[in-house]
């Protein structure tokens, strides 16, 4: 009886550590996302990952369609982190207080996708409808996560892995597409900021851990 109890406790502790590792990977990714992707000595010329979705609209090559992709790819880290936080909050193996905290974090992560100087009318404009839909999806999933408490770990892990891969690859690809154009605007060569590397690495790490845990079964 005692042996079974100890085995159960070890199993719970191990599962908590694995979910914590996924959380920390995503947190590192977010630190990079909010770090400088376009570095510069002048603070006013530094561009973080979050701001790239609006910033690229003012790049001539992007505005003319010469460089073509959806600017919303730069919101994928916020979207993935918000949805991922709600999915993590659904795991009953985690302490209740941590689940509430993680669920709460999903809200500001979703609202980070709001356009600057927004109002309800702006959110309904064609330019911002995709953002609005993404925000609404994230906010609805916060209470909806309670319905996922009984879901097995594997589909949740796969969902987090897919979201993390998208959050790592799509913004990095988009940034590489516009990097030369940004250098032309700054009239100087620019290294990829540490935020780019930390953000991409953090979300890739989260995806790797999630896939490994899903395969573990």
Alpha-carbon distance of 53 to 73, in angstroms, equals 7
Q: Tokens 């701001």 identify what position?
A: 51
Q: Tokens 């900021």 identify what position?
A: 193
Alpha-carbon distance of 140 to 83, in angstroms, equals 10
Q: Tokens 């250098």 identify what position?
A: 183
Q: Do residues 82 and 106 lie in contact, with contact meaning Cβ atoms separated by under 8 Å?
A: yes
Query: How do the pLDDT tens digits run along the chain, 217 residues long?
Result: 444 544 456 667 778 888 999 999 999 999 999 999 999 888 889 999 999 999 999 999 998 889 989 999 999 999 999 999 999 999 988 888 899 999 999 999 999 999 887 888 888 888 899 999 999 999 999 988 778 887 888 999 999 999 999 999 999 999 999 999 999 999 999 999 999 999 999 999 999 999 999 988 6
Encoded tokens for 189 = 């060569």
pTM of the model: 0.91
Could you tell me the residue ranges of all domains in the chain?
2-216
Alpha-carbon distance of 112 to 102, in angstroms, equals 16
């Amino acid at each position: 009886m005692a042996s079974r109890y100890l085995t159960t406790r070890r199993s719970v502790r191990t599962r908590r550590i694995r979910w914590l590792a996924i959380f920390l990977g995503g947190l590192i990714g977010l630190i990079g996302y909010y770090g400088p992707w376009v570095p510069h000595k002048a603070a006013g010329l530094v561009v973080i990952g979050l701001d790239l979705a609006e910033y690229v609209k003012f790049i001539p090559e992007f505005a003319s369609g010469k460089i073509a992709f959806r600017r919303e790819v730069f919101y994928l880290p916020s979207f993935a982190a918000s949805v991922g936080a709600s999915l993590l909050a659904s795991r009953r193996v985690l302490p209740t207080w941590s689940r509430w905290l993680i669920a709460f974090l999903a809200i500001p992560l979703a609202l980070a996708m709001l356009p600057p100087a927004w109002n309800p009318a702006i959110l309904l404009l064609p330019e911002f409808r995709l953002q609005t839909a993404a925000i609404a999806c994230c906010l609805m999933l916060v209470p909806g996560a309670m319905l996922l408490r009984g879901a097995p770990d594997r589909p949740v892990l796969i969902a987090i892995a897919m979201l993390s891969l998208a959050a790592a690859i799509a913004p990095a690809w988009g940034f590489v597409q516009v990097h030369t154009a940004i250098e032309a605007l700054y009239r100087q060569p620019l290294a990829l900021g540490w935020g780019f590397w930390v953000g991409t690495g953090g979300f890739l790490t989260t995806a790797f851990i999630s896939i490994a845990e899903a395969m573990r079964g």
